[in-house]
Amino acid sequence: MTWWCTGVRWHAEGRPALGWYGPGRGRHESVVAYGSALAFRARGERRCLGVWRGGRWTPCPAGAAVAGRATRGQCEECARVDRAHSVAADTFADDPRPYHVYVAWFGPGLVKVGITGVARGGARLLEQGAVAYCWLGRGPLMAARRTEELLRVALGVPDRIPYARKRALRARLPERAERARELAELHRRASGLGGWPDSLERLPCDVVDHAGAFGIADGGVEVTGVVNELVDGGVVTGTLVAAAGPDLHLAVRGGGTVVLDGRVLSGWRLEALGSGEYEGSGLGVTVPVRGIPAVQGGLF
């Protein structure tokens, strides 16, 4: 039975997992634990897996190939369908579900505002790699969307941040108390603004910190390279020491910590390596790694 990887997933209670899709079998998740080994080989070609919508998976009608470095494991057509049905597209103005408005902290001076469904809890913030966050309000979708835009403009903060910036800032983090103070100040400023929709309930400041869930020690986590592409036959082995958003931090043979960007996993068939296959073999990473001095043409 072939299982295709769908990338890194997060449970609201703070547990990372790898997602899988098996034709005719639906979705499956395997929780990954810090301190455990991660060892696999990529096989074949990266393919678009289609769209998950309404509790079912619709396979890509073209079975299209996806570029190895693409951060979204979908072809353009399937990605367009996905975007058209997303909350960000504002195509479901009558959505009856309640939404949270939040402010997320990724590093000193780097915050963003956004919205997420109340039913999802903090999963969206874990998926984004937010080191800390707090809720600002709760209410209907369009009221939450208007408040998001109001706060973005008034506070001068973005609603989108390039992931490379988030990753870089995690290497040097201030203490938890400083993170909480910065978020509390933003919450105070946001709460003092006029123009909030009447239907949006304002919420008190209650900062949630993800450093523990991410496995990040005080001071941050340094990495020596990033795996941002897989290739047929390429191997990745290491010990999972931390995770944040889509990033899996692996301690590899020879020293150092390499980030495996989970966004490039989706659409690959990954073959598990047995312990006897990699123990003592010297394998670490045999796929392109950015940010590490060239060895064997850029490969380990």
Residue recorded with tokens 């449970």: 11
User: For the whole prediction, is pTM greater than 0.75?
Assistant: yes
% the chain with pLDDT above 70: 89
Phi and psi torsions of 280, nearest 5°:
80, 0
Check pLDDT > 60 for residue 261. yes
Check pLDDT > 80 for residue 117. yes
Q: Outline where DSSP puts E strands in the chain.
A: 4-11, 15-22, 26-31, 37-43, 51-53, 56-58, 99-107, 110-117, 132-139, 201-202, 208-209, 225-227, 235-244, 247-251, 257-261, 269-272, 289-290
Dihedral angle, C-alpha 258, 261, 262, 263, nearest 10 °? -170
Structure confidence by residue, pLDDT tens digits, 43-66: 999 999 898 876 778 889 998 999
Nearest to 6 by CA among 192, 268, 278, 290: 268
Q: Outline where DSSP puts E strands in 88-234.
A: 99-107, 110-117, 132-139, 201-202, 208-209, 225-227
Averaged pLDDT for residues 286-299: 52
pLDDT of residue 254: 77
